[in-house]
Amino acid sequence: MYRILDRKELNSTVTLLEIEAPLVARKAKAGQFIILRVDENGERVPFTVYRTDIARGSVSIIFQVLGATTKKLNCKRSGEFLSDFVGPLGIPTDTSGKKRVCVIGGGVGCAIALPIARAFRENGTEVTSIIGFRNRGLIILEQEFRAVSDRMFLMTDDGSYGKHGNVCMPLVRMLGEGEKFDEIITIGPMMMMKFVVDAARPYQVPVTVSMNPIMIDGTGMCGGCRVTLHRGGETLTKFACVDGPDFNGYEIDFDEAISRNRMYADFERRAYENTCNLLRQGERE
């Protein structure tokens, strides 16, 4: 059992949990993830490591309440326990040997982008960060990004805060003005990452994307997290849990990845509604 040390709501749909897991805390690096179960009958769900505290023996995750499991997880309070907490999994993001990078995060993907930006900064890399949200009420980690960035752009779709527009707009402007980056790293919704790759393609700046496909066991056995790559005339199948989650953005078949991520949308919606009904029933009883 893994004890929840702290809980903080970052906005109306996004929550941070700090979980006591000393072995994971000692090993986890930027870009890696864990898989947890809320209870012994729960499904296995992956979450990226947002932060570790070796002294406290803790790992922090940030998640958005979207489905049945995240709804249950969001009902947990400090002092309560999770059934399973396994990790770190995946290959850490390579943050070495780069002088200038652009880190782009969208929505709750910023929880993944921030530790990567921090790791680059700690290695002496000049970091430009671009973070985007639908509106002001959904913004998370603004001050944390400012602390680890040499330059930061905050975009909102509706213009309610920061600059009006999407994350590609400052990127295209910088690249068009001749700015050079050793690498662009983008984490967020699949469609956003696809657009970032398309925006960078004419300039052939290396783009790394952190893939978030459907995942079950985290060992490469189930095949649920498979990703199709097109490399040098070859079509390759990789698994995000063991070969990623970072991949060359120019090689990803985004259309297939987006389609596969939508396969269980109706099932997830029904499971979420059923969970909400059960929780309300439990509160009445």
Q: pLDDT tens across 121-172, in order? A: 999 999 999 999 999 999 999 999 999 999 999 999 999 999 999 999 999 9
| Residue after which a domain boundary falls, among 208, 242, 267 | 208
Q: pLDDT tens across 221-232, in order? A: 888 788 999 998
DSSP annotation of 252 reads: B
Judge whether 151 and 128 are in contact, CB under 8 Å: yes
Question: What's the pTM?
Answer: 0.88
- Dihedral of CA atoms 198, 111, 92, 66 in degrees, nearest 10, equals -80
Pairwise CA distance, residues 228 & 7, whole Å: 37
Judge whether 199 and 130 are in contact, CB under 8 Å: no
Q: What is the pLDDT of residue 266?
A: 63
Q: What is the pLDDT of residue 183?
A: 97
State the residue range of the domain holding 215. 211-285
Kindly report the CATH number assigned to the domain that includes residue 39: 2.40.30.10
Q: Are residues 186 and 233 in the same domain?
A: no
Instruction: Enter the tokens of residue 76.
Output: 């947990």
- Dihedral of CA atoms 254, 256, 261, 265 in degrees, nearest 10, equals 130
Kindly report the CATH number assigned to the domain that includes residue 185: 3.40.50.80
Q: Output the CA–CA distances (angstroms, integers) from residue 66 to 8, 166, 282, in the order listed.
A: 17, 22, 20
Residues paired with 152 in a beta bridge? 129
Q: Are residues 226 and 273 in the same domain?
A: yes
Q: Are residues 18 and 84 in the same domain?
A: yes
| Residue after which a domain boundary falls, among 164, 189, 208 | 208
Q: What is the pLDDT of residue 276?
A: 54
Q: What is the pLDDT of residue 187?
A: 95
Alpha helices in the chain (DSSP H): 22-27, 68-74, 110-122, 142-148, 168-176, 190-200, 240-243, 254-261, 265-284
Q: What is the pLDDT of residue 60?
A: 96
Pairwise CA distance, residues 227 & 237, whole Å: 6
pLDDT by position in tens, the chain (length 285) = 899 999 999 998 999 999 999 999 999 999 999 999 999 888 889 999 999 999 999 999 999 988 888 889 999 999 999 999 999 999 999 999 999 999 999 999 999 999 999 999 999 999 999 999 999 999 999 999 999 999 999 999 999 999 999 999 999 999 999 999 999 999 999 999 999 999 999 999 999 999 987 777 777 788 878 899 999 889 999 998 899 999 999 999 999 988 877 665 565 565 445 555 545 555 554
Q: Are residues 117 and 197 in the same domain?
A: yes
Q: Are residues 82 and 101 in the same domain?
A: no
Q: Are residues 239 and 224 in the same domain?
A: yes
Q: What is the pLDDT of residue 1?
A: 86
Q: What is the pLDDT of residue 145?
A: 97
Instruction: Give the count of domains, the chain.
Output: 3
Question: HSE (CB half, 13 Å, CA atoms) of 73?
Answer: 35
| Residue after which a domain boundary falls, among 89, 117, 139 | 89
